[in-house]
Amino acid sequence: MKHTNLLRSLVLSLALAAGTTAFAQINFNLVVAPPAPLNEVAPSLAPGQTWAPGYWAWNNGQHVWVRGRTMVQREGYLWVPDRWVEQGGTYVRQPGRWERSLEAKPPKYKKMKKLKHDNGRRNHGNSGKG
């Protein structure tokens, strides 16, 4: 009976530990404002690429610079960079994200064939002669 309880506790502990690692991002609220962004020169980009500028992250009790990077461009979207926002005396990091571009082209749809109609003139088997 004791072994069953021990095994049950072990399985439950492992399940809880596995569940907590499923979250990839943790948000921090900080009283310390991040430093000013560093000036990075974006490289020349190949067609279909966009630049995600660097940002300050929080690691081991201090701000650390995460360098900018090139990314594959999503058609019809713009990259909004990572940033820190002041909210009620604390600073909250908002991760970068894709937002729909206002200049995005509307999706292309196939044209449907225009249906032919006879404008109310129907041929009922007579030629109009009485």
Average pLDDT over residues 67-90: 94
With cut-offs at 50, 70 and 90, classify the pLDDT of residue 122.
low
Q: Assign 3-state DSSP to the chain and report helix, strand, coil percentages, each to 5.
A: 15, 30, 55
With cut-offs at 50, 70 and 90, classify the pLDDT of residue 49.
very high
The pairing of strands 97-100 and 49-52 is unpaired
For residue range 2-40, list pLDDT tens digits in order: 545 544 555 455 455 544 444 455 555 667 889 999 999
The alpha carbon torsion through 114, 117, 119, 120 (nearest 10 deg) reads -150
